[in-house]
Amino acid sequence: MKRISLFVVWTIVLALAIPPGWHMPSARAAEPPVPPVVDGWVQVSTAAQLMYLNENQTEYVAGNIRLTNDIALPEGFEWRPFGGNGVPAFSGVFDGGGHRVTGVSIVDDAGDDGDDYAYAGFFGDTRGTVNNLGVSVDIFAGEYAGGLAGVQSGGLIDRSYSVGIVRGKLGAGSASVVAGLVGASNNASIARSYSAASVDSGTAPNIYAAGLVGSKGAGDVDDVYARGSVSNRSGGVYLHSAGLAAFLINGDIRGAYSAGPVGAAPPGTAYPFVRGFIASIASTGNVASSYFDRDASGTTDGGAGGAIGLPTASMKQASSYAGWDFANTWVIHPSVNDGYPYLRHAIVTESLPSATKDVPYSYTLGAFEGADTTLNWSADGLPTGMTMNGAGAIQGTPEQSGAFEVTVTAVDAGGVGDSKTFSLVIEAYASEPASFAVGPGAAYGTTRATAVPGAADHTFLYTLTGSAPERPLVGADVPAEAIAYEAGSDIPSANVGQYLALYEADAQGRVAAWGSVALEAGHIQSSVGTVTGSVYGVGDVPIAGATVSIDAASTTTDVYGRFALANVGQGGRTLQAVAGGYDPADVAIVVVAGETVDIGIVSLSPTPIPATGVRIDASDFTMTVGDPPRRLTATVEPANASDPTVVWRSDREDIATVSPSGEVAAVAPGVVTIAATTADGAHTDRVAVTVMPAPPTVGSVTGAVYGANGNPLAVATVSVDGVETTTDVRGSFALTNVAPGSRTVRASASGHSPKDVAVVVVAGETVDVGTIALSAVRADDDDDDEDDFTASPAPASPAVETMQVKLNGTSLAIPVRRETAPDGRSALRLIADASIVSELFAAGGIAVVEANVDDPIVKLDLPASALREAREAYPDAALELRVDGASYRLPLRYWPSLPEADTLTIAIADAAGDVQVRVRNELAKQGYEMLALPVDFSLYLDGTELTGRGEAYTVRTVALDAFPDPRASTVVWVDANSRPHYIPSTFRPTENGGGEAEFYAPHNSLYTVIRTERTFSDVQGHWAQDDIERLANKLIVAGAAENAFRPEDPVTRAEFVALLVRSLGLTESTRGARFADVSTRDWYAGAAGAAGEAGLLTGYEDGTFRPNAPVTREQMAVLLDRAMAFAFGDASPTTSSISAARFKDAEDISGWAGASIARLVEAEVLQGGPDALFLPQATATRAQCAAALRRMLLTLQFIDAE
């Protein structure tokens, strides 16, 4: 069919609308109306506007469109499918507003006139959102044809329907796909929709015809039905024909039925698949809770296990539909939809436009009709003068103003429907202010308006214009150009013929009343006189340049202080004289028309110069106790202020004092505010002073001395240089005021040989050397220069304190020592000798030491020699310390090489109270909820903490009061700035109703558990939404902008390495970043260094990293492969049984990447596209990286699967 242009149709409409005798200019054609845009929505209310959109599709296919009326396209207008067929697919939101478009005609007349569409329907191709839309169609075109859409390549269709007839194109090519609602749907969903259109297939070797959807790929179909007939043409080799869907490839169909006739396969069809509900279904598709009318369809074969055939009588009984929601979604009534179930009607109009009192009003509401029926509308609560007709239109002229609650109801023939309450605002034009009048002003050429405000907080404003203003509505904004006005004062520059409008504004600046007058001669002042005089200042000296004014008349004095004011309105007036540096002076005078009044000398008094500010000559600074005082200077502004003095104050004189002259003296550590205030108290400047303690000059050494029998030695002598002390009854000692540096601790006791221990003392810190074991002096020891002697027996040592702990589940008493930590908290040291270590590892495996104590710090001392023996005997064994819900597991093979040291110490400590509060508060400021008290894990070798970076993961646990949501929770290590960093971790519930976090850390630190819910506006509905949000909650990925992730943006090599380092829980280090193009100042230097140290990153042959180059998919694969090898502790990854040659583009994969890609594909960390392409040289996107990283973490069991 030839397409009638919008121009021709619109011209015909105008011609029919113009009465006889009216003529249009011959040289100018009518322009089609452009639909308005309101709040970002294209508002379509007429056929002409919809036709304009159809003619200009490229401008609108990505926009948001809303219908505000039912629209009937004119007869003869050939609709061009909206989106697709050479135009981008529709990708916006099309809100039908509960309205129907009729007259949608698409007929391919086989001529070469532009109507040979591949996709035929109201939409050619849509991947956006379509809702609340009904269409009445006559379609005879398209290889893919549907009443609503030929193809749905994405997005959602909700609460929409089609009626009429849909016929496929004859000779459609390789396939003809025709259906009542959508021809083909893939990666898209259809919900709460139906079709009553009859369907007639096209002709092609492969024919698909169905009542609702022809071919369905990925995506769900829920709560839908089809009632139209399905007819089949001859000529096809394969015929797939059914009442609801012809072919289901992927996705689910749930809660659906079909009730239309399904025609038989025409003679000669080689492979007919004609069924009542679905013709063909792949193994990846699923049908559930669905039904078809076996009487109407003419077959008992539904085509799928979830499609149940029922006789017509049963199809009209709600009890036949198991699990269907007839309370909210479905309804059934014998008077509607021929007795079959139908979807509940829904009023979809969101709000009513406001009306104006005494002005005609008309607005039609819209509703989704759950069946092809007519709804009857009614309304309660409409103001006087307004009614609603049965078609849903509110009409009339309101006689009242205000806000009205209107309840609208729409019901079908069965009395089933919907109701909704709206607020209808009736506005009113503003009335005149009380006592409004206009008259001449006081000064020549002025006018004035008088009025009484309606409330105490009302104000007046005015405009003076050359044209008549329109009366505003009550509550409207006052024009921006309106000038604030005091009723009765002069309005200058008034002229006959101008319009004076007076606005009365309420406290919010909106119109409360309004009056306007066209100015005449009688409204403007023309009777005037003259006033003269002089202005003098200090010492009776005339002031030149002083301003003298009476009402709107103004002048300045000459060099002699004289002035003359002409054109001053007659009557009592007030003259004001103003000069810089002086207080203004007012003089009352009487002006006589036509005369000059001389008022003599006006004397002005000088104005004091107040301080306008004060400024201290320093910003925030730091002092140290013992520093000399620091003098601050405060400058009062302006420089010529009458009083330049200031008052100095300190808000914490116990921390720092300040003298009247501004000298600050440090007293004690802390933060203090020093303030300088002007003498009048009006202005203050402040600086914050941080007072640091005097730097320490000495350190401390602690430990314990034990004898040969393993008992503590009391009164043993311990010394460092000239500092000496003796041990207490537990053998403990503490040496204070020890000079920093490398020192030698000597321990000696009667009957024992003295022993020296090397120690490094740090100023301000305490070094714990652990246990010093002394050997007894033997009686047969000879000395070349001395006679033999027999050692005196050592004094009896006090009883050693012991405690019951569990060793591999068996209770055993072992020695303990109670200590005081440097922060004053109690600490418990468990002391295991060689025999205990030997017993622990007697069977290999995991040796467990469990202590249930209340001490916040627990340490376990182990003899290094015994551990070396255990490691040699059981290289795969591990030692685990469990304390109050926390545990630390250390595989012996991962421990550092044990030198000839005495003691290895494992420590688990709860964070101190002030640290707990600080960490919790700082995490809360960053948007995180802390779920567990922070715990510190550490290792010591002869009292010196091992702070080096680990090379492998160790397993640790912390207890939780409740089991958290694993999707939104993670273990973190907390740095010195209280910033959290992800640590690989999983969660499991415990028998007491709580939870336990197990985490895998390659280093020691302060650990806790946090919870956060992160999302981004641009990933909603994205295929990688769950991957992105899960990694955001784990602190691995972050947004690219405010509330935006930008999932399709490319990723640079630096960005991916940073993501990888965070995913593995590694700490950043610049030591490994030895690349020519990486500076330690670069943001990614720490990540590149950590990746280098872990063996993940090698760079290019020229020694560069190329951080800003995009990371390709094959580069990403190699980095992921190395990361998994590092995490598994495997320096040489295994080979894969899968070859990268499985991909069609395998020859494009670089040789160095093939093995990595094969291993990752086998592990299901990476996968190719549906077309069997890997695209190795393609740039990886942010979404792809997030998905691959999450799959890697799942494979490593570094996060929970759910």
Band (160; pLDDT cuts 50, 70, 90): very high
Say how far apart CA 203 and CA 233 lie, in whole Å.
6
Q: What is the pLDDT of residue 489?
A: 92
Say how far apart CA 143 and CA 175 lie, in whole Å.
7
- Looking at domain 528-603, its CATH superfamily turns out to be Immunoglobulins (2.60.40.10)
Structure confidence by residue, pLDDT tens digits, 90-142: 999 999 999 999 999 999 865 545 568 999 999 999 999 999 999 999 999 99
CA 1183 to chain centre: 16
- pLDDT over 80 at 1132, yes or no: no
Q: In one letter, which amino acid is 925?
A: K
Say how far apart CA 423 and CA 52 lie, in whole Å.
33
Structure confidence by residue, pLDDT tens digits, 449-472: 999 999 999 999 999 999 999 999
Say how far apart CA 691 and CA 298 lie, in whole Å.
93
- Of the candidate ranges 322-336, 773-787, 1052-1066, the one whose mean pLDDT is the lowest: 773-787
Q: Is the dihedral of CA 425, 429, 431, 433 positive or negative?
A: positive
Between 1172 and 927, residue with greater pLDDT: 927
Q: What is the pLDDT of residue 411?
A: 95
Say how far apart CA 603 and CA 1095 lie, in whole Å.
90
- Of the candidate ranges 51-65, 659-673, 812-826, 1097-1111, the one whose mean pLDDT is the lowest: 812-826
Right CATH for 68-310 from 1.25.60.10, 2.60.120.200, 2.160.20.110, 3.40.50.2000: 2.160.20.110
- pLDDT over 90 at 822, yes or no: no
Task: Please state whether beta strands 596-603 and 528-536 pair in parallel, antiparallel, or not at all (unpaired).
Answer: parallel
- pLDDT over 60 at 948, yes or no: no
- pLDDT over 70 at 29, yes or no: no
* Residue that the structure tokens 């005097």 belong to: 694
* Residue that the structure tokens 């036709």 belong to: 51
Say how far apart CA 66 and CA 48 lie, in whole Å.
15
Q: What rounded mean pLDDT belongs to the chain?
A: 87
The 3-state DSSP class for residue 1191 equals helix
Quick count: other Cβ atoms within 10 Å of Cβ 730? 19
Top-level class of domain 320-420: mainly beta
Top-level class of domain 613-690: mainly beta
Q: What is the pLDDT of residue 279?
A: 94
Show the DSSP H helices in 590-702 as ranges. none
Span 246-268, mean pLDDT? 94
Structure tokens at 77: 């207008």
- Contacts (Cβ under 8 Å, ≥6 apart) of 802: 813, 814, 815, 816
The domains spanning 528-603 and 613-690 adopt the same CATH topology: yes
Span 30-44, mean pLDDT? 84
Span 240-264, mean pLDDT? 95
- Residue 327, sorted as left (phi over 0), alpha (psi -120 to 50) or beta, turns out to be alpha
- pLDDT over 90 at 796, yes or no: no
C-alpha dist (Å) from residue 1119 to 169, 271, 1071, 1092? 52, 51, 19, 11
Neighbouring-strand partners of residue 1052: 1110
Count the alpha carbons within 13 Å of 693 in the hemisphere toward its beta carbon: 4
Say how far apart CA 447 and CA 467 lie, in whole Å.
17
> Cis omega before residue 638 (within 30°)?
yes
- Of the candidate ranges 189-203, 465-479, 773-787, the one whose mean pLDDT is the lowest: 773-787
- Supply the angle between the helices 1113-1128 and 1053-1063 in degrees, to the nearest 10: 20
Q: What is the share, in percent, of the chain residues with pLDDT greater than 70?
A: 92
Say how far apart CA 997 and CA 409 lie, in whole Å.
55
Say how far apart CA 580 and CA 89 lie, in whole Å.
71
Task: Please state whether beta strands 634-637 and 613-616 pair in parallel, antiparallel, or not at all (unpaired).
Answer: antiparallel
Band (750; pLDDT cuts 50, 70, 90): confident
Q: What is the pLDDT of residue 1137?
A: 45
Span 949-958, mean pLDDT? 73
- pLDDT over 70 at 427, yes or no: yes
- pLDDT over 70 at 1067, yes or no: yes
Q: 473-482 burial string, b = 16+ CB within 10 Å, else e?
A: bbeeebeeeb
For residue 923, report the phi and psi dihedrals to the nearest 5 degrees.
Answer: -65, -40
Q: What is the pLDDT of residue 1070?
A: 65
- pLDDT over 50 at 508, yes or no: yes
C-alpha dist (Å) from residue 172 to 186, 285, 744, 1120? 20, 26, 96, 48
Say how far apart CA 1098 and CA 1088 lie, in whole Å.
10
Top-level class of domain 699-776: mainly beta
Structure tokens at 442: 């006081």
* Residue that the structure tokens 């009164």 belong to: 715
Q: What is the pLDDT of residue 783?
A: 45
Q: Is 725 in contact with 658 (CB distance < 8 Å)?
A: no
Say how far apart CA 1145 and CA 1078 lie, in whole Å.
34
Say how far apart CA 906 and CA 832 lie, in whole Å.
11
Q: Where are the domains of the chain?
A: 68-310, 320-420, 434-523, 528-603, 613-690, 699-776, 911-1013, 1018-1196
